[in-house]
Amino acid sequence: MYILRALVHSMSRKKVSLLLVWLQFSLIFFIAFSLVCSCINLFKNENEKRRYIKADFDKCCQMIINTVNTSKEICMDGADFLSEVKSMDEVSVLGNYFYYSTAFTSLRDNKAFVEAVEKAVDEEIRNLTKSGLRVDEGSYQDNKKDLIAQILSVDYELFDSLLPNTFLEGGMPDGSFSESDSFKPVILGYGYKDAFDIGDTFISDDEKFKCRVVGILDKGSKWFSENYGLSYDMVNIDNSIIVLTDRPDTYIGTTIEGTVLANNYLISKEPFDRELEAKIGEVAKKYGISVGIYTFNEFFANTRENFIEQYYLTLFSILFLSVIAVFGLSSLIVYGINISKREIGIRMACGAETKHIMGIFCSEIFIIIILAFFTSCIMANSERLINFLMISMKDINIWVYAAVLAISLVVCIVSCIFPIRRIAKLEPRELTGGQ
């Protein structure tokens, strides 16, 4: 009751108001939420990159990536353009990947496959709804009927370079990969694990995908999102059928104005310099295309630097806020002690030890901290407030709560230790005013 009495006292004396103190700590924890969220997300992203980016992009991995916005007509010669670029001496192809959706109605008897497709469709609907997009439920029901599954077509070399080889349940892909087999080797996402065994074959309705299962991915495996090749966002591919190709198709043409050359990874034999860039530019001009050329490595290096900067800034901010909280609570406790010296003295005269006095104050501060913590939880989960403050608080999970609570406890203990140790060192006689 010492602290609450101090608050009430201070209110009546108009020095500080209870509301302000409450708000102070609630805001501190609220900000802590956003910082911890960012911190964890940064750490997670950094980890994912380390886990998935296995290729040696040290010097020369380049990328042609972007939308050709300036083209007035839909470019029909994009494939030729790319083919010509790939044929340059300075350039070798690393690989491509593309997402397709294809029907597999002939697999209607495969119960596990049907269930996997339906589950995948439902999940997609859920994700779209969650992200606030309007969902045409009817067409998705048709997808279920036609057993439309998502295909991720990946150049084998790219797949091999970017993912560790431990993903296959059946071990490494066998030598049949390079055989001139009409069946393309596929790796199934975890969702299809019950539908086929390794060695099974199946065919899509359009017969474009004649698949032979060579492996099954681990649960929760991820791949780059389909939004341009350079995106470092990873998406779950549990519901995808990964078709490994040694001659990937080139994805050219969109329904919108302009041409998209996406997901084409080129690797140059020499470091990508202005001369090569100009050379590719010339070829692009010939085909009426303008392209953006990015150095893969530079992109990630910059991103990593930004991440590290952001990471330390976030850590520093958390530390700074914690220090402010410690000062705030300490001053509150000092005030509480000042108006309760007599009581503390009487308690000590009756045999209370330092730890007992500490316990009383800590438990009271703990109550305030917990109340402020819950207030901040409400604030952190309030979408309107978040939007208003424009602070991103995605992915508040159990670890975020735990981390913020841990910070709260540390703040609680640290803020109590010094003032209480100081007061407890006094003689009871001094505290009771000589009584």
Nearest distance from C-beta of residue 8 to another protein, angstroms: 12
Q: Provide the minimum distance between the beta carbon of 310 and another protein in the complex, in angstroms, as a whole number.
A: 48
Smaller CB separation from another protein, 6 or 63: 6
Among positions 324-363, residues that touch another protein (CB under 8 A) are 342-343, 346-354, 356
Sole binder of another protein in the list 44, 111, 394, 429 (CB under 8 A): 429
CB of 409 to another protein, least distance (A): 23
Q: Which of 142, 257, 305, 427 binds another protein (CB under 8 A)?
A: 427
Q: Which is nearer to another protein, 185 or 419 (CB)?
A: 419
Report in angstroms how near the CB of residue 353 gets to another protein at its nearest.
4
- The yes or no reply on residue 434 touching another protein (CB under 8 A) is yes
Closest by CA to 87, choosing from 285, 246, 268, is 268
Please give the size of the binding site for another protein, defined by CB under 8 A: 20
Task: Work out which of 70, 178, 227, 435 binds another protein, going by CB under 8 A.
Answer: 435
Instruction: Answer yes or no whether residue 222 interacts with another protein by CB under 8 A.
Output: no
CB nearer to another protein: give 381 or 435: 435
**Least distance to another protein from the beta carbon of 20, Å?**
25
Minimum distance of another protein from residue 361's CB (angstroms):
15
Q: Is 146 in the site for another protein (CB under 8 A)?
A: no
Nearer to another protein, 91 or 333 (CB): 333
> Considering beta carbons, is residue 384 or 425 the nearer one to another protein?
425
Compare residues 7 and 404 and give the one whose CB is closer to another protein: 7
Binding site for another protein (CB under 8 A): 1, 5, 342-343, 346-354, 356, 427-429, 432, 434-435
